[in-house]
Structure 1
Amino acid sequence: MKENQFNNMSNGKGFIAALDQSGGSTPKALAAYGVMEDAYSSEDEMFDLVHEMRTRIITALAFDSEHILGAILFKQTMDSKIEGKYTADYLAEDKGIAPFLKVDNGLAEKSRGVQMMKPIPNLKDMLDRANERHIFGTKMRSVIHEANPEGIRDIVDQQFKFAKEITDAGLVPIVEPEVNIHSEEKEEAESILKNEIMKHLDTLAEDEKVMLKLTLPETPNLYKEATEHPRVVRVVALSGGYTRKEANEKLKNNDGVIASFSRALAQDLRVDQSDEEFNEALRKAVESIYDASVNKK
C-alpha cells in the first residue's frame, strides 16, 4: 500500500488536510468549532471532544480522495478509532487517503529569532508505533520569526536531522520550518530559508525523500526549484493564519505547490450544524482549496 500512497502523493491531484492540533492548540480549535472550555474538565475529555470533531470531518462525504491526498493526525488521533478501525486504517482503507503523524513535542522558547523544536527523546518509539498503525509519513514544525541567518540555519539543520531518522524508519517526513506571516522580515527570512533548504536537499541520498511544508511566500514561485528537486516528494503550503480566501489566492501564485491547511480548512465548521449543513460547509472548503492547489494563475 505504501508504494501506491507514495505514487499518489508524488503525482496525484489534491491537497493534504491538517488535522493535527495538539495539546496547546486544541482548545483554540475546539472554540472555533463552537466547543468552549467549560464543556470539558480534563485533558482526556478535551481530546475525546476533538476526536469527535475530527471523526465528523473524516467521515463526511466531502472528505474524499478525489480532492484530498493525505491527512495529518495527532498521536491521540492515531491511537483512536473511527468506525471500529484505527484512524490511519480508516483513512487508507475506507477513504483512500494517506495518513501522516505529527511527531514533534512543540516549540522551544524563542532564541536568535526562531523557535526550534523541543527535543524528541521518544522519536524512535513513536516511529515504531507509527509503522504499527500503518502511518505513511510524519510532520514536525518549527517557527521562524526574524531573518536571523544563524537561527534559520539551526532550524533547518534540526529539521533535516530528524528527517534522516524518519526516512531510516521507512516513513516520509514533512519538514515544516514555518515563517511567521506577521514577521516584518518575512521576505528576507524566506530567502535565507530557501537557500538553507536547497543546501540540505542536495546532500540527501537517492533513497531519502522528503516533503516540505512552507509558509506561502511573499515572492511568488520562490520555492519552484524545490518543487522540481528529485529528493522532494511534494511541496505543500500551510495557511499560517491567513483566511481561506487569502491563502487560496496566494497558493494560486505558486506553481507545483499544494495546500496543507488546518484553520483555513475548518474555519466554517461548527458543532451545532446539522450533518447537511456541516457537509456543505466542508464541501465548499474542500473544493476551493483543491481548486487553488491544482489550478494556477
Structure 2
Amino acid sequence: MSLSNLEIVARYLAAPGKGILAADESTGTIGKRLEKMGLKNDEETRRSYRELLLTSAIGGSISGVILFKETLYQSTESGKTFVKCLVDQGVYPGIKVDEGLQPLEGGLEGETWTKGLENLAAMCAEYAKVGAKFAKWRATIKIQPGGPSEKAILQNADELAQYAKICQGAGLVPIVEPEILIDGDHTIGRSQEVTEKVLAATMAALWRHGVQLEACLLKPQMVLPGAECSDPKPSAEDIAKHTLTALRRTIPPALPGVMFLSGGQTEEEATVNLDAINRMARTTEPGCPWSLSFSFGRALQHSVLKFWSSDQSKGLDVQQLLMSLARANGLASRGQYTGPHPTSAEGSASLYEGFRGWRADQITS
C-alpha cells in the first residue's frame, strides 16, 4: 500500500464521530477476564465472545478494531471470516503486533521495553495479506521517584519509531502507544510533565526514523493523577486542560488523530473525560489540528463481557449494549455527549432504542 493510501486509512480511522475498539487482548489477558466471569479460557469461548463483538452493528461509531493474532484468522460459527465481518460494515481490521513487555536492563525497578521487532517485517507483510489495514504496538512508562529514567523514555521511543517505520513499509498504518501507567501516587501535574517528555521523545524518534506522520496515529493515555494520589479527584475539565496542554506542546499538526486509551478509568469516566477534552479543544485557543477520539478496550468491553457471561442467550441484547457504548463514545469524540451513560441505571431507559432485557444491576461494576 502506498503512503498516500496509508494516509487515507489513517484519516478514516480518525474520522469525526468514530473511534477504535481494542479487542486485542492476548490469550492470557482475555483468559483472566473470562475466568473471573466463570467462563473457560479455551479457543471456542474466545471465538464465541469475539464473534459477538465483531458481528455487532458497530460501523456507525467504530472505524477500526484491533485484533489479536488468533482472532485475525478466526471465523463466525457459520464460516464467515471476522475480517470480512468488519470490512462488510466499513470497519478496518487491525492487529496487535508487539510481543509483550520485558524488564529493562539498566532501568529503574519496574521499567520495561517491548519485544517483537526481530521478525516484525515478515509478520506485518503476512497480516497485510490477510486483510489487516493497521497495527498497534504498546510501550509502557512508569512514573516513580527518580523516574522514569532517560533510558526507558528514549529506548521505548526509539522502538516505537522502528515499529512504525516497519509497518508503513509493509502497508499498515501504525498506531503508536506510549502508555504512561497510572500506578503510583504522582499528581496530575507530574503526569503532565512526564507525558510531555515522553511524547516529545516519541515524536523526535518518529522523525529520526523517517516515519510519515500523516500515515500514523497516536494512542496515549489522558493526563491523570496516579491511582494512589492523595489530592482531590480532578474534574473532567481539569483532565481536559492538562491533556490538551501536553498535546499542544508536543504533537505536530501533521498527525491526523490522537486515539486515547481508557486505562485507569471507569467506562463512564472515560466517556465523560473524552467529551470534556473535545469540548475544550473546540472552545480554547489555539484549537487542535488533530482528531481527538478513542481506542478503548475495557471501556467498551467490561460491561459487555460481564453481561454476556451472566446470560449467553441474550446475545442480541449484549450487542445492543456494545453499540450503545460505541455510540456514546462517538458522541464524546465530537464533544456532543450528554448522557446518561449506558452503564448507568438511567441509560437503559433513555439513550438506546430497542434495548431488550438489559438490567443495569447485571453490569454494574
Give the CA deviation at 1:167.
0.8
1:125 paired residue number: 122
Query: 2: distance between equivalents of 1:268 and 1:227?
Result: 33
Deviates more, 1:106-115 or 1:255-264: 106-115
1:43 corresponds in structure 2 to none
User: 2:281 aligned with 1:253, yes or no?
Assistant: no
SS across alignment from 1:177: strand
SS of the counterpart of 2:86? helix
Pick aligned residue for 2:45 from 40, 45, 49: 49
Counterpart AA for 1:161: Q
Report the Cα distance in structure 1 between the residues aligned to 2:117 and 2:252, rounded to whole angstroms: 30
What is the SS of the residue equivalent to 1:18?
strand
2:351 aligned residue:
none
- How does the TM-score come out when normalised to structure 2? 0.71
Q: Is the 8 A contact 2:14 2:293 kept in 1?
A: no
Match of 1:288 in 2: 328
Q: Sequence identity, in percent?
A: 27
Name the residue aligned to 1:217: 223
Number of residue pairs aligned between Structure 1 and Structure 2: 285
The amino acid of 1:212's aligned partner reads: L
Q: Work out the CA distance in 1 between the residues paired with 2:80 and 2:99.
A: 26
Q: Say if 1:12 and 1:69, in contact at 8 Å, map to a contact too.
A: no
Q: Which runs of 5+ in 1 are unaligned?
A: 41-45
Per-residue displacement from partner, 1:54-99 (whole Å, max 9, x unpaired)? 11011123x2x2110100000000111234333223211x221011
Larger fraction in strand: 1
Distance in 2 between residues matched to 1:119 and 1:276, nearest whole Å: 37
2:61 to 61, 67, 78: 67
Q: Does 1:90 align with 2:85?
A: yes
**Distance in 2 of aligned mates of 1:8 and 1:170:** 15
Matched, 1:166 2:167: yes
The 8 Å contact of residues 149 and 192 in structure 1, kept in 2 or not, is answered as no
Compared CA separation, residues 9 and 224, structure 1 to 2 (3 A): farther
Q: Tell whether 2:204 aligns with 1:199.
A: yes
Q: When the two structures are superposed, what TM-score results if normalisation uses the length of structure 1?
A: 0.86
Q: Is the 8 A contact 1:89 1:133 kept in 2?
A: no
The answer as to whether partners of 2:192 and 2:243 remain within 8 angstroms in 1 is no
Q: Tell me which structure has the larger Cα radius of gyration.
A: 2
**Stretches of structure 2 lacking an aligned partner (at least 5 in a row):** 225-241, 282-290, 338-365
Give the stretch that moved more between structures: 193-202 or 133-142: 193-202
> Any conservation in 2 of the 1:216–1:238 contact (CA below 8 Å)?
yes
Deviation at residue 202 of structure 1 after TM alignment: 4.0
Give the direction of change, closer, same or farther, for the CA distance of 1:208–1:295 in structure 2 (3 Å limit).
closer
Shift of 1:10: 4.4
Q: Is the 8 A contact 1:67 1:287 kept in 2?
A: yes
Whole-Å Cα distance in 2 between the matches of residues 162 and 131 of structure 1?
Answer: 15
1:220 Cα offset (Å): 2.6
TM-superposed CA distance for 1:120, in Å, is: 3.5
- Cα deviation, residue 151, structure 1: 1.1
| Residues 176-214 of structure 1, C-alpha deviations (whole Å, 9 max, x = no match) | 111111233433321211221232344435587211111
SS in 1 for 2:303: coil
Residues 91-119 of structure 1, C-alpha deviations (whole Å, 9 max, x = no match)? 11x22101110001111025435321024
* C-alpha distance in 1 between matches for 2:212 and 2:118: 27
Q: CA deviation at 1:174?
A: 0.7
Letter in 2 for 1:54: R
Structure 1 residue 5: Cα displacement: 3.8
State the Cα distance separating 1:15 from its structure 2 match.
0.6
Aligned residue in 2 for 1:17: 21
Change (3 A) 1:205 1:239: closer
Which one of the candidate residues 86, 103, 125 is aligned to 1:109?
103
Quote the Cα distance in structure 1 between the aligned partners of 2:336 and 2:151: 34
SS at 1:81 equivalent: coil
Structure 1 residue 225: deviation in Å? Answer: 5.6
Whether the 8 Å contact between 1:140 and 1:175 is mirrored in structure 2 is: yes
Mapped partners of 1:52, 1:120: distance in 2: 31
- Measured on the aligned residues, the alpha-carbon RMSD in Å equals 2.5
Verify the 8 A CA contact 1:117 1:141 in the aligned structure 2.
yes
